[in-house]
Amino acid sequence: MKRKFPILILFTLILSIFLTACGGGSGQESSSEPTNDDSNTNSSGNGSNVELDFWYIDPGEKEQVYLEAVARFEENNPGVTVNSLRIPNDDYKQRMVVAMSGGNPPDAFVSWGGSWLQEFADAGQVLELNDTDIDFDLYLETALNNATFDEKIYGLPLGISQTLFWYNKELFAEHGLEAPETYEELLHVIDVLNENNIIPITLANQTKWPGAYYLMYFADRLGGEELFLSAYNREGKGFDDAAYVRAGEYIQELVDRNAFNPGFNGVPYDAGQGRQLMYSGQSAMMLMSTAFINNIRQEAPDFEEKVDFFPFPTLPDGNGDPTNLGGATSPVWSAYSQTEHPELVIELLKELGSVETATEYENRTGATSGLKNIETDDVFVQKFAEVAANANDIHMPYDQTLPPALAELHKDTTQELLGKTMTPEEAAEKMEQKAKEVLE
């Protein structure tokens, strides 16, 4: 027994040397790959047996639209194969972090823009697109801004969504209600629905982002888009601004009015119980992104004719522009900075973000594209585009703009505001404290 130990120890030592050698080797291996590729070059023009990796998230019809764009790219670039890989939403962030730190990320990948992309961009992992022949005028400025950091563009936004109040027209008509334009009208609607035993607003807030819509909208309506930008850029205002405290008070007022389904903080959005309340007529309204129309079409097609939307109501003490919208960009196409074939990857990005792809995207997926002036037959998409075009500003979700730690706190505190385990003052103070730590 005793004699085995020295051998074992020696063995572990040898092994660890072996392992470290491996670690060094893999780095060299990847750098030698281009020469490998070159030696494989066929005689057929520029087309060698080049392989590009492309990662995306969306399943279903969106996936088809992307894959068709990839097919067009492959047709235009003979000899290039794109390995398209769909990664489930929940795994995606983790997979990308591991791939990036492991030095083997995909050549082209999807993101939501915002701080998540910025984190990689700041680390020099994302290809800067400024000096390419990409026509950036194709894209909506608000959408493109979400992938632009320090005036460098890192992604092409194919899609943009808006956050709107969805409501059940039938239920509203039944109880003599109209889509509210002001906060008072919204409160009236809530009271009437409550009297009739209908849950006024569905909120599925286990995942925290659906509740965050309220804070962002209230803050935008109260202080305008400058409020967040000023707080984020540390230019005078802070996250403890009176408007943020007031936004928290509004949220808690809605909670006190029984505006939401009971136990909303424990209901995950993806599992679908929240939407079920809407479909079954147990609930009448939901503040949700325009992606909701996709859910409806897949899960309850009959519901589509009953549903309509109205913009977030105006507030009596609001100083913000009432046409302001909340929104998000997705998908945003970006490329890995160390890719071996930057020209080809840029061509791929261009195809994925082309007018043709965007037209297919709008017509087939019920989502608005991040490109300007796309023609579509989809009535809902036309309406979304109209609201977006009339908007003075579209604010992106805080959790995409703020650095991750602060973004998480923003969602946590808003969840606690909704759960009434934190006062608006406490929440605002916590945010500002963290903001000072992270942003300054």
Partner 1 sequence: MKTALNQDTVISPVVNKDKRKKAKTILLFVLPALLVYSVFILYPIIATFNYSMYDWNGVQAHKEFIGLANYASLFADATFWQALKNNMLLVLVSVFIQIPLGLVMALVLFSPVMGKKFLNVIFFLPYLMSTVAIGLLWIFMYDPINGPVNQLVQMFGFNSVPWLADKNTAMIAILIVVVWQFSPFYMILFKAAMVGIPDELYEAASIDGANGTQKFYYITLPALIPTVVTSSILAIVGSLKAFDIFYIMTGGGPGGATEILGTYMYKQGFIHFSMGYASTIAAVMFLIAFVCVVIIQIIEHQRKKRGLFT
Among 16, 49, 196, 319, binds partner 1 (CB under 8 A): 16
x/- mask, partner 1, residues 361-390, rule CB under 8 A, reads ------------------------------
> Rule CB under 8 A: is residue 268 a binding residue for partner 1?
yes
Q: Which of 120, 63, 70 is nearest to 96 (CA)?
A: 120
Instruction: State which residue, 65 or 212, has the beta carbon closest to partner 1.
Output: 212
> Rule CB under 8 A: is residue 17 a binding residue for partner 1?
no
- CA-CA distance, 414 to 254, in Å (whole number)? 13
What is the three-class DSSP state of 289?
Answer: strand
Site for partner 1 in 420-439 (CB under 8 A): 421-422
Q: Which residues sit opposite 326 in a β-bridge?
A: 163, 395
- Give the CA distances from residue 298 to residues 60, 61, 275, 324, in Å, rounded to whole numbers and listed in that order: 10, 10, 12, 29
> Rule CB under 8 A: is residue 15 a binding residue for partner 1?
yes
Those residues with Cβ within 8 angstroms of residue 112's Cβ, 6 or more apart along the chain or in another chain: 146, 328, 329, 330, 331, 332, 400
The pair of three-digit structure tokens given for residue 316, joined into one six-digit string: 């009596």
Rounded least distance, CB 386 to partner 1, Å: 35
Instruction: State which residue, 369 or 415, has the beta carbon closest to partner 1.
Output: 415
> Rule CB under 8 A: is residue 119 a binding residue for partner 1?
yes
- CA-CA distance, 188 to 395, in Å (whole number)? 27
Residues in the chain: 440
> Rule CB under 8 A: is residue 273 a binding residue for partner 1?
yes
> Rule CB under 8 A: is residue 4 a binding residue for partner 1?
yes
Among 145, 226, 419, 439, binds partner 1 (CB under 8 A): 419
Tokens 């990839």 locate to: 70
- Give the CA distances from residue 135 to residues 75, 131, 161, 330, in Å, rounded to whole numbers and listed in that order: 21, 11, 22, 19
> Rule CB under 8 A: is residue 125 a binding residue for partner 1?
yes
Rounded least distance, CB 149 to partner 1, Å: 15
Instruction: State which residue, 94 or 130, has the beta carbon closest to partner 1.
Output: 94
Rounded least distance, CB 369 to partner 1, Å: 28
> Rule CB under 8 A: is residue 89 a binding residue for partner 1?
no
> Rule CB under 8 A: is residue 162 a binding residue for partner 1?
no
- CA-CA distance, 350 to 76, in Å (whole number)? 12
DSSP, res 163: E
Rounded least distance, CB 203 to partner 1, Å: 10
Rounded least distance, CB 426 to partner 1, Å: 11
Compute how many other C-beta atoms are within 10 angstroms of the C-beta atom of residue 48: 17
- CA-CA distance, 219 to 397, in Å (whole number)? 12
- Give the CA distances from residue 143 to residues 63, 265, 291, 304, 408, in Å, rounded to whole numbers and listed in that order: 21, 30, 16, 27, 23
> Rule CB under 8 A: is residue 250 a binding residue for partner 1?
no
Q: Are 189 and 177 in contact (CB under 8 A)?
A: yes
Instruction: State which residue, 11 or 136, has the beta carbon closest to partner 1.
Output: 11
> Rule CB under 8 A: is residue 97 a binding residue for partner 1?
yes
x/- mask, partner 1, residues 47-86, rule CB under 8 A, reads ----------------------------------------
> Rule CB under 8 A: is residue 266 a binding residue for partner 1?
yes
DSSP string, 358-373: HHHHHHHHS-EESBSS
Rounded least distance, CB 301 to partner 1, Å: 22
x/- mask, partner 1, residues 183-222, rule CB under 8 A, reads ----------------x-----xxxx--------------
- Give the CA distances from residue 234 to residues 135, 209, 230, 238, 319, in Å, rounded to whole numbers and listed in that order: 32, 24, 6, 7, 20
Rounded least distance, CB 414 to partner 1, Å: 11
Tokens 């996936």 locate to: 63
Number of chain positions touching partner 1 (CB under 8 A): 49
Rounded least distance, CB 335 to partner 1, Å: 16
- CA-CA distance, 373 to 11, in Å (whole number)? 67
> Rule CB under 8 A: is residue 267 a binding residue for partner 1?
yes
Among 12, 30, 89, 130, binds partner 1 (CB under 8 A): 12
> Rule CB under 8 A: is residue 120 a binding residue for partner 1?
yes
Question: Rule CB under 8 A: which residues touch partner 1?
Answer: 3-4, 6-8, 10-12, 14-16, 19, 93-94, 97, 100-101, 119-120, 123-125, 199, 205-208, 261-268, 271, 273, 276-277, 282, 404-405, 408, 412, 415-416, 419, 421-422
